[in-house]
Amino acid sequence: MRIFYCGDVVGRPGREAVLGNADYIRKDMKPDVFVVNVENASHGFGVTTGICRDFLAHGIDALVTGNHVWQQRDVIPFLDESKKIIRPLNYPENLPGHGSVEITLPDGRKILVAQVLGRLFMEAVDCPVQAIDKLLKNYTLGRNINAILVDIHAEATSEKISFGYYLDGRVSAVAGTHTHVPTADYRILPKGTAYITDVGMCGNYDSVLGFEVDEPINRLARRYTGGRLSPAKGKGTLYAIMVETDDQSGLAKSIEQIKI
């Protein structure tokens, strides 16, 4: 199975980078599954129902969010309505939405996509390890599921790497997001799980993490935080990974970093 996963979409440049290349990606790269993190797609903070529908209309198979999932209030009912968008698994279970989605391909193969939030330097949430363990009790690679992609949305690189090794051999891929800076450590771990600490963002890289530079500079130089962060305007760059898995074992055969 070929799994294409785009990192955090930031504002209009990120949306245009993904949607403007969606046909090319499907035609030339031929992924079986196309997944996008829309965490910052609406003005840099969260995502709206309209943006979600736009991505799904372009053939995206699943949408992943993150810690800003509650920022745009109109999307909250959509989290229950749509089976193709997920919020972090380790939020309290009584909140709207789902922490995972199971996708069945036209040929019958199945992939599970799930997300957890990290806890180091992040808001208080439930334990990501306990949450993913509870989910994976229902799935075994190569038996009742062909592939499993897990996003860990976290600040600390050490937490992401530890989580990758914790799941090594149990899932097809662990992909880090949230910090918006693509890392060069994409690899296959010893037991067969593809891993990257951060996929990177889809947005304008002439910026500070996708945002216009003035406000971050003010916060750095003056400790002045009265201004608002605004997504950078201009042309966006898409960062993603392509993971190819073995259909029998569900483990990774290769992982490639993609930049468009």
Q: What are the catalytic residues?
A: 68
Q: Collapsing DSSP states into helix, strand and coil, what is residue 117?
A: strand
Decide: 6 and 238 in contact? Cβ < 8 Å: yes
Q: Collapsing DSSP states into helix, strand and coil, what is residue 190?
A: coil
- DSSP tag of 92: -
Backbone phi and psi for residue 210, each to the nearest 5 degrees, phi listed first = 95, 0
User: b/e string for 45-57 if b means 16 or more Cβ within 10 A?
Assistant: ebbbbebbeebbe
Dig out the tokens for 85 from the structure.
């968008």
User: b/e string for 107-129 if b means 16 or more Cβ within 10 A?
Assistant: eebebbbbbbbbbeebeebbebe
Nearest CA-CA partner of 11 in 255, 234, 174, 246 = 234
